[in-house]
Amino acid sequence: VACRAQLAEAAGEQANADVLYVDAAERWRELGNVPERAYALLGQGRSLAALGKPEAEAPLREARELFASMGYKPALAETEALLAHGEAAAV
C-alpha cells in the first residue's frame, strides 16, 4: 500500500495518494512499525498540503512527534518545513 501511495504521489494523483497513505499508516500502526508509520503520515500530510488542504497539519504533527522521538533528523526537517509552509499560508 505504501508503494502505491508513493507512486500515486509521484504521478501527481494527490487525492489518491492521501487515501493510500491513510491506509498505509494504519497498517503500519497495526504492525507496530513506528518508522514506516511516520513516513506514511508524512506522505499523507505532503499530499494534503499539495492539495492546499488544512487537514495536512494533523498527520504532519503526528509524523513530527514520531520522527523527533526516533531522532530522524532529515525526515523531521522535511516535516517541520511542511508545517511551517502551511502555517505561513494560513496567515
pLDDT tens for each residue of the chain, 91 residues long = 999 999 999 999 999 999 999 999 999 999 999 999 999 999 999 999 999 999 999 999 999 999 999 999 999 999 999 999 987 666 5
Report the number of distinct structural domains present in the chain.
1
Measured distance CA(91)–CA(51) in Å, rounded: 17
Distance CA 30, CA 12 (A): 28
Residue 20 is part of which domain span? Answer: 2-90
C-alpha cell at 73: 533528523
Cβ-contact 17, 9 below 8 angstroms: yes
Q: Name the pTM for this structure.
A: 0.94
* Residue 79 C-alpha from the chain's centroid: 8
